[in-house]
A and B are shown apart, each in its own frame.
Chain A
Amino acid sequence: MGALKNKIGWWLLLFMVLSVSCASVTSKRKQAAVVAALHHRASLNTVQYNVRKILTYEDFSTLDGTLFFEKFSIQIPGDRKIALPVDVIIKSSIDLSAMTAADVEVKAGEITLLLPAPKLEISSSAIDYSREMQFLSWNRSKFSEAEKEAILKSGEQKILQEMSRADVMARSLVAAYKALIPLLEAAGYASESVTICFRSDLKDDTTDDSIMDMLQGRRNL
């Protein structure tokens, strides 16, 4: 009995020594970054939109199965919800490298430019982790990191789709015009002799008639 007590005592002592620690220690080990791609671009960014969105998700637990060849789904009481605030910067961009010689027409001192339609791209995004919220019923588990990432990933595409429906294209067109005029004036063209058009792949409902009048009629904005 005495020998056993000694053995236990030694093991306890060893355990205590190993578990003592002064403070939390954080160490970091860096992995080399992988530069995925270097893209040569010639794009003109005309408008920047700062967008804030709270992505929310709710689900209920269900009991699914088949009984007598009939599928059934019974909702089990208890749900869980999550809210993820996201700040996104979206830029309206015109890909000038897609222009060809045929898109620039110079005739008798007047110049006409045919530009590709502006596109919206997510420039960067940041999640406000400190304001993330979850609401759980007693019988539900927390959202895992993988689930949160899936919600954020699907939210990314939906934010862009929603922005495309908003009336942002008209502003992008006007901003592009304002950006290009100084360059053309530096080349010796008067603003009155400049015509800027956008390709017909623009949807009609994204362009306000008054904006088109401004672009094609009045030169001074």
Chain B
Amino acid sequence: MMEQSVEKHGYRRIAIGIVLLFCLFWIGKRWYDAQHPKPLNPMEIAVQITAIQDINEWEFLCVEMEEMEDTLIINPGFKPAYRFARIYKGRACLGIDMRRVTDDWARKSNDTLYLRLPDIQLLDENIVNDLSTRTFYASGEMTPVIKQELYERAKRDMRRRALLEANVEMAREYARDYFLSLYRRLYGEKENLVVEIEFVAL
């Protein structure tokens, strides 16, 4: 009986030792992988084009932005609070969509060329480049709902900052300068051409 008890304790100790060794190996492997990260390259990259659209957009001002959005979620009960912060990058392009011109957008009278162009606008409402998003801090698991909410917030904020009156006016000036120089070049510098440009909210 005594010998059986000693044998049983012996096996138990061996089993505990094996489990401890396994745990040590697992912790060591996790630490090693963290110290030596491998580059992560996606496997397949065949692209699927879902839509093709001919557009006629003239870009005159490009506003590149970074926006940090954060959120704090306090959970009921004993769960700890979660805090998330992400940094988004985006590019807002201001310009003229020439598909919106009316039939009489260009009219020449003697030495004066009259251009009636659509007003400067945000050429694309999709501003955020989510592929470049970085997570600055995450104290818990970020669910898709939280990520989507932060993304929408970043998009709204970037849109608001891109459409500041100063930016729109700057884009108008660039557009005016560009079309003036373009048509002077087309008509030849020798001709005394006057170009009048009117931006119309269509």
Chain A residues within 8 Å of B, Cβ to Cβ: 19, 21-31, 33-53, 55-59, 61, 63, 86, 88-89, 91, 93, 96, 101, 104, 106, 111, 122-127, 129-130, 132, 141, 145-147, 149-156, 158-159, 161-163, 166, 171, 175, 178-179, 182-189
Q: Would you list the 3 A-B pairs with minimal beta carbon distance, nearest first?
A: A186-B106, A129-B144, A124-B126
- A contact residues around B73 at 8 Å (CB): 24-26
Nearest-Cβ distance from residue A205 to partner chain B, whole angstroms: 18
Per the bound structure, the CA–CA distance linking A183 and B76 in Å amounts to: 63
B18 within 8 A of A: no
Bitwise, B56-89 to A at CB < 8 A (1) or not (0) is 1111111111111111111111100000000000
A38 touches B188 (CB 8 A): no
- A contact residues around B101 at 8 Å (CB): 182
Chain B residues within 8 Å of A, Cβ to Cβ: 29-30, 33, 38-78, 90-91, 93, 98, 101, 105-106, 108, 113, 115, 123-124, 126-135, 138, 142, 144, 147-148, 151, 153, 157-158, 161, 167, 170, 174, 178, 182-183, 185-188
- A contact residues around B178 at 8 Å (CB): 42, 96
Per the bound structure, the CA–CA distance linking A62 and B89 in Å amounts to: 35
Per the bound structure, the CA–CA distance linking A43 and B106 in Å amounts to: 20
B40 touches A150 (CB 8 A): yes
A57 touches B76 (CB 8 A): no
Per the bound structure, the CA–CA distance linking A39 and B171 in Å amounts to: 10
B68 touches A158 (CB 8 A): no
- A contact residues around B187 at 8 Å (CB): 187-188
- A contact residues around B135 at 8 Å (CB): 145-146, 149
- From B53, B101, B167, residue with most partner A Cβ within 10 Å: B53
Which residue of chain B has the shortest Cβ distance to A147 in the bound complex? Answer: B40
- From A57, A145, A185, residue with most partner B Cβ within 10 Å: A145
B108 touches A39 (CB 8 A): no
Which residue of chain A has the shortest Cβ distance to B183 in the bound complex? Answer: A187
Per the bound structure, the CA–CA distance linking A145 and B133 in Å amounts to: 10
> Would A101 and B147 be within 8 Å (CB), given that A26-B73, A33-B67, A91-B55 are in contact?
no
A104 touches B185 (CB 8 A): yes
Nearest-Cβ distance from residue A150 to partner chain B, whole angstroms: 5
A–B complex contacts, Cβ < 8 Å, 25 sampled: A24-B74, A24-B76, A25-B74, A27-B71, A31-B70, A37-B63, A42-B174, A46-B56, A47-B54, A49-B52, A61-B29, A91-B55, A93-B59, A96-B178, A111-B186, A123-B124, A125-B128, A126-B126, A127-B130, A154-B40, A154-B41, A156-B132, A166-B47, A186-B115, A188-B108
- A contact residues around B74 at 8 Å (CB): 21, 24-26
A125 touches B40 (CB 8 A): no
Which residue of chain A has the shortest Cβ distance to B97 in the bound complex? Answer: A45
B126 touches A26 (CB 8 A): no
Nearest-Cβ distance from residue A48 to partner chain B, whole angstroms: 5
- A contact residues around B45 at 8 Å (CB): 53, 55, 155, 158-159, 161-162
> Would A39 and B64 be within 8 Å (CB), given that A146-B135, A149-B135, A184-B186 are in contact?
yes
Which residue of chain B has the shortest Cβ distance to A142 in the bound complex? Answer: B141
- B contact residues around A159 at 8 Å (CB): 45, 47
> Would A55 and B77 be within 8 Å (CB), given that A31-B70, A41-B60, A186-B115 are in contact?
no
Nearest-Cβ distance from residue A174 to partner chain B, whole angstroms: 9
B67 touches A124 (CB 8 A): no
Per the bound structure, the CA–CA distance linking A27 and B85 in Å amounts to: 12
A45 touches B57 (CB 8 A): yes
Which residue of chain A has the shortest Cβ distance to B56 in the bound complex? Answer: A179
Per the bound structure, the CA–CA distance linking A188 and B170 in Å amounts to: 29
Nearest-Cβ distance from residue A170 to partner chain B, whole angstroms: 12
Given contacts A45-B59, A56-B42, A156-B131, 17 further A-B contacts (CB under 8 A): A26-B72, A31-B69, A35-B64, A38-B63, A41-B59, A41-B61, A45-B56, A46-B56, A47-B54, A49-B52, A52-B50, A96-B178, A124-B91, A124-B126, A129-B144, A186-B115, A188-B108
